[in-house]
Amino acid sequence: MNGSNGLRDKLLRFMQGRYGADGLFYFMTAVYLALVFLNIFFHSWTLHILSLAVFVLTVLRSLSRNIEKRRRENEIFMTAVNKLRARAARSRRMREQSEDYYFKKCPGCKKMLRLPRVSGTHSTRCPACGEQFKVNIKPFRGKRTRAS
Ligand SMILES: [Zn+2]
């Protein structure tokens, strides 16, 4: 018991003032493990060096005393992750609604428009920028998600 506590104290003291783990740390660890796993099949020196580089960077980041800089790196990373998540959520929502709605980007302002799914060619006007354009809506062919 005492021995392991001593080790923990030593570790805590060592990590004091150092950055530690964050979202980017876990992501880089996952990338490192994925590269190591891939290299079981590829036996490539490039992959080997790359995985070592990722590992060293991951460890150096967590031991860094430049906490502000590491925090900013993580912030940039998390912003990108959140953007991807939002995009995935949006395309999931679009898929779920595609039986009732047809999604079309406005050719004028690139805003995504949700149109009622009525098959045929229609003339429509973007509510955001007023651009008028024709849209050809095909009948729904995906998997039905609601009973009707
Ligand atoms: Zn528009």
How confident is the model over 89-130, as pLDDT tens digits? 999 999 999 999 999 999 999 999 999 999 999 999 999 999
Please indicate, yes or no, whether residues 12 and 78 belong to a single structural domain of this protein: yes
Residue 113 Cα to ligand 1 midpoint, Å, equals 8
Please indicate, yes or no, whether residues 26 and 77 belong to a single structural domain of this protein: yes
Residue 112 Cα to ligand 1 midpoint, Å, equals 8
Residue 114 Cα to ligand 1 midpoint, Å, equals 12
Please indicate, yes or no, whether residues 55 and 81 belong to a single structural domain of this protein: yes
| Residue 97: burial class (beta carbons within 10 Å; 0-12, 13-18, 19+) | middle
Please indicate, yes or no, whether residues 106 and 83 belong to a single structural domain of this protein: no
Tens-digit pLDDT profile for residues 73-100: 999 999 999 999 999 999 999 999 999 9
Q: What is the pTM of this model?
A: 0.72
Residue 71 Cα to ligand 1 midpoint, Å, equals 38
Please indicate, yes or no, whether residues 36 and 79 belong to a single structural domain of this protein: yes
Please indicate, yes or no, whether residues 27 and 80 belong to a single structural domain of this protein: yes
- Which residue segment(s) compose the domain that 129 sits in? 98-137
24 to each of 1, 44, 89, 132, how far by Cα in Å?
33, 25, 21, 45
